Amino acid sequence: MTQTAALDDLVAASGQVLSARHADVGTSRETARRGRFVKLAVLVWVLAGLAWWRVLAKDPAAAFLPLPSIDPFLLTIIVFFGLLLALTVGQQVLSGRSPHVVYRPEQIDVSLDQVVGIDGVKDDVVRSLNLFLAHRVFSTEMGGTPRRGLLFEGAPGTGKTHLARAMAKEAGVPFLFVSATSFQSMWYGATAKKIRAYFKALRKAARKEGGAIGFMEEIDAIAMSRGGVSTAMAPAAAPMTALSPMTSCCGPLATPATGSAGGGTVTTPFMSEGTGGVVNELLVQMQSFDALTGWQRLGGWFVDRANLLLPPDRQLSRPSLLPSNVLLIAATNRADSLDPALLRPGRFDRRLTFELPSKSGRRALVDHFLARKAHEAELDDDERRDALAAITQGYSPVMIEHLLDEALVSAVRGGRSAMTWKDVEQARLVEEVGTGAPVEYTAHERVLIATHEAGHATAAWLTAPQRRLEILTIIKRRGALGLLAHGDREDVFTRSRTELRALVQIALAGQCAEEVFFGDVSTGPGGDLLYATNCAAEMVGAHGMDSTLISYLAVQNSSFSDTNIVGRVLGDPRGRDQVEAVLQELKTAVRALVVENRHLVEALRDALLEREELIGTEITDVLEQAAARGPRPAVIDLTQPGVAAATDAPA
């Protein structure tokens, strides 16, 4: 293929991977193959020539190299010390071997078509892969510098290793996998030696195959910021509250995420000389992908000696440096802690962030996983799959697959060979909250817990109709005697004041239900109050949703500037009073709502006492039926003194 045609293919490739056979990688591989064939042919001809020479010498049975006669005792001594020397040298050599594992393309069973749910990152990776395959065209025809390093950062289970393996499969080149922890050694200098050996093997594979992809897992194990190196961070906006959809009756299941002010400079105060040397070695190797081979260095040595004897106009040229087509990919969950020198262009040219999949990405993942997992026909329904994508908000691809595996386990436990929707719901409940523990509540506790959880669900149905009621249970799981699971119907990235107030009301509704029905409160609402306090504190101190517009995130150099936003607000007397006022106001409102709709609470309470657990539409069905019937008529006991007289009195 001509350079012009290759350039046209590179420019025209839109979201598609170039053919490795017709790209620069394939051309380099074919050139290397022909070179090896020529060397083999020369070796065969030399051996054939020696054989013919012995035949023509009329002594074909004689040995090429006659062995000398050695005394057996002397031979034993030579062998002993030879083995001892080999053991000593071998230990040093083996301690510096590269710990990588080589995977050939045919050994990798993952292709880019099987990478779903991360389309944004996948598109960027395809572009980088095309630049890797057509590296010579991109550099010579367009004058660009191909990407030499990609840094994959993101939460665990978001597909970093999965995508790197797919890249090696599509590129058709060796994939040198190594865990950064395997470089570490107890011997001083051995870690740096292993790093040098790894990059040497990477360059060697690239020269043989036209290219090679190296993948370094958890690079932060050897690439932490060195002592005294400052990492400047861009100012970060205050993170949006990640409100948990779980409301428990006994102990918090989750609290709103809080953040501190971003920006500034982080300086690593100390790092050992050995660790700093490892980072330095990694920096040097990543900058020096191109290096002379051993034969080139040997030839250069002879050329240098010859040039000492030659005049300046007759100097011999040294062997030229042949670039190695290497692409290094590293994965980490802690990119901000890496040495800043690693992140500059020329080392890691591209930094790709793997986010948790969106709803459309989760739907694609659900389709992908269910295509090879046994399931009933109900899970083929688009509405069911959309619902599954919705309830798995915040799940990584690995978590979604694990959820479906647990649903299969639930099906096997039930004596079935395929999962159902109920199996999925049960698996999700177990994964997020834990398995149910058999607890023998007293009769009073059972009614109390059912009333408490019914209060949560009723408030959620009335104040936040945009939320999805998922699970309502009085079965003990972990630290929760009962819980209500509710979540957003769609992926949301901001919340309004009304939504946050509704969430606080939902959290306080359990305590209000206890007061209305029992005239007393229990220790159960402890987790609810924690959640409500965190949410109200963020409303007051971070989002300007009360009477003050002051952001407590701006507090610096004070006694509580290093605490989270909740600690800063509650540490200020005025902020504490504002939070208390918000909580009291919302509690009054939700208590009135519970009193007005006590028939809904009673209906849910009775259903929970009967079935112990309601899932999805079972909750809303009970509420809708109770709302349709209306409030229960008041019962008047005519036997009570004064009641009959009041009833008979004229209007």
Phi, psi for residue 184 in degrees, rounded to 5 = -70, 145
DSSP 8-state code for residue 381: S
Tokens representing 647 are: 């009833």
Q: How far apart are CA 534 and CA 530, in angstroms?
A: 6
Tokens representing 401 are: 């697959």
Residue carrying the six token digits 């019914």: 454
**Cα 364 to chain centroid, rounded:** 17
Alpha-carbon distances, residue 499 vs 118, 255, 463 (angstroms): 29, 16, 9
Q: How far apart are CA 349 and CA 644, in angstroms?
A: 88
CB 144 within 8 A of CB 138: yes
Tokens representing 153 are: 């950062």
Handedness of CA 433, 438, 443, 445 (dihedral sign): negative
SS3 content of the chain, % helix, strand, coil (to 5): 55, 10, 35
238 sits in the region (left: phi over 0; alpha: psi -120 to 50; else beta) called beta
Residues in the chain: 651
* Burial category of 500 from C-beta neighbours within 10 Å (exposed 0-12, middle 13-18, buried 19 and up): buried
Beta bridge partners of 487: 468
Give the SS3 label for residue 477. Answer: strand
CB 146 within 8 A of CB 131: yes
Question: Active-site positions?
Answer: 453
Largest CA distance in the chain: 145
DSSP 8-state code for residue 224: B
CB 176 within 8 A of CB 107: no
> Which own/partner contact pairs does 365-368 have at CB distance under 8 Å and 24+ positions apart?
365/116, 365/117, 365/397, 365/400, 365/401, 366/392, 366/400, 367/116, 368/114, 368/116, 368/117
Q: How far apart are CA 457 and CA 466, in angstroms?
A: 13
Please list, in sequence order, all residues whose beta carbon lies within 8 angstroms of the beta carbon of residue 32, skipping any fewer than 6 positions away.
207, 208, 209, 210
